[in-house]
Amino acid sequence: MCIKKVGIIANIAKEKSPACTASLRDWLLARGLVVYLEEGIAAKIGAADGVERGKLGALVDLLVVFGGDGTILRTARLFRDLDTPIVGINLGAFGYLTEVNLGEMFRAMELILAGEFQIEKRMMLDVEINGGEETFRGGTVLNDVVVNRGNLSRIVELETAVDERYLTTFKADGLIIATPTGSTAYSLAAGGPIVFPELHSIIINPICPHTLTNRPILLPENAEIKVTLWTPEQGATLTLDGQVSFTVKSGDTISVRKSRHVTTLVSSPHRDYLEILRTKLGWGGSPTGAAGKRRDADGAEHP
Catalytic residue list: 69
Tell me the longest C-alpha to C-alpha distance in the chain: 70
Specify the pairing of strand 156-162 against strand 62-67: unpaired
Q: What is the 3-state secondary structure (H, E, C) of 90-155?
A: ECCCCCCCCCEEHHHHHHHHHHHHCCCCCEEEEEEEEEEEEECCEEEEEEEECCEEEEECCCCCCC
SS3 call for 89: strand
Q: What phi and psi values does residue 214 have, to the nearest 5 degrees?
A: -75, 110
